Amino acid sequence: MNIENICLKACEEINDISNFLKAELGKVATTSIEIKERNHLVSYVDKQSEQLLIDSLSKIVPQAAFLVEEATVAHEKKDWQWIIDPLDGTTNFLHSLPFFSISVALQHQGKTVLGIVHSIMQNELFYSFGQQKAFMNNQRIQVSPTSLLEDALLATGFPYYDFEHIDAYLAMIKPLMLKTRGLRRFGSAALDLAYVACGRFDGYFEYSLSPWDVAAGAFIVQQAGGQVGDFSNGNNYIFGKEIVAGNPNIYNYLIESTNNFFNKS
């Protein structure tokens, strides 16, 4: 199977679906928003874009199963599997904040072989496939060379519905606020990871995430020379609901922090 051709075709389909999302920005009525659980919002835009993705990606790799956020298709176990988020940053989208994305990963026998993140309003397409490097809009990208924590700009995601580890999280961010150039919280994990891959952020961490939030972005970070792991420096970052990513130096600082704070909570 030609992964490069699959990636190029998927990028074309994602671009078309991005145009649909841009056209719907600012048009979703409050009465059309569903609340799945606390602060978990969904609208017809999420569901329609997910169905569009499923329809288009099914034609590219007919034998692949899907792992999706909005359950528009049943999950099956197959050798090939798409992991997709049709709108990562739904709350931003519903408030007309221009920081949301489409995230698409393809796995073969549990190993990610392709990752695509489209920053819709910025028209920036991040992607990588196979053994290739990582790219944004056809230009190669790589993680930052930042070696000192005091020179680092970090990204994170504030807890907004799962507050089980809130004390550990708050304890961890205090020293990072004091020792770094700052922390940013933009509200799209896929884009946070893409920004680590291209060197805009030096590191990123968050907990209570889903596979579709991180599968594509994590792969792109690795292909761009970065490191990705769970809070214990293990490999369970796609399904383990926690992730640390960064260039190798900053990654190590963040792993030290997660070990100090989260593994004691």
172 pLDDT above the threshold of 70: yes
39 pLDDT above the threshold of 70: no
Q: For residue 243, give the nearest of 199, 175, 171, 190 by alpha carbon.
A: 190
The CATH 3.30.540.10 domain(s) of the chain lie at 3-141
The CATH 3.40.190.80 domain(s) of the chain lie at 149-264
21 pLDDT above the threshold of 70: yes
The predicted pLDDT at position 32 comes to 67
Q: What is the mean pLDDT of the segment spanning 129-134? A: 95
Give the orientation angle of helix 248-261 with respect to helix 166-179, to 10 degrees: 140
pTM: 0.94
5 pLDDT above the threshold of 60: yes
Q: Does domain 3-141 have CATH number 3.30.540.10?
A: yes
Q: What is the mean pLDDT of the segment spanning 20-47? A: 77
38 pLDDT above the threshold of 80: no
The pair of structure tokens assigned to 244 is: 């640390």
Q: What is the mean pLDDT of the segment spanning 28-34? A: 70
Q: What is the mean pLDDT of the segment spanning 125-143? A: 97
- Diameter of the chain measured on Cα atoms: 50
Strand locations in 29-170, DSSP E? 34-37, 40-42, 65-68, 80-88, 101-108, 111-119, 124-129, 134-136, 139-141, 153-156
74 pLDDT above the threshold of 70: no
The predicted pLDDT at position 213 comes to 97
Tell whether the torsion through CA atoms of 132, 138, 139 and 142 is positive or negative: negative
Per-residue pLDDT band for 265 (boundaries 50, 70, 90) equals very low
Q: How many CB atoms lie within 10 A of CB 30?
A: 7
Q: What is the mean pLDDT of the chain?
A: 93
Q: If one looks up domain 149-264 in CATH, what number appears?
A: 3.40.190.80
Q: What is the Cα–Cα distance from 11 to 25, expressed in whole angstroms?
A: 21
Residue 63 exposed, middle or buried by CB count within 10 Å (0-12, 13-18, 19+) = exposed
Q: What is the mean pLDDT of the segment spanning 31-50? A: 73
Q: What is the mean pLDDT of the segment spanning 70-82? A: 82
Residue with tokens 């072989």: 113
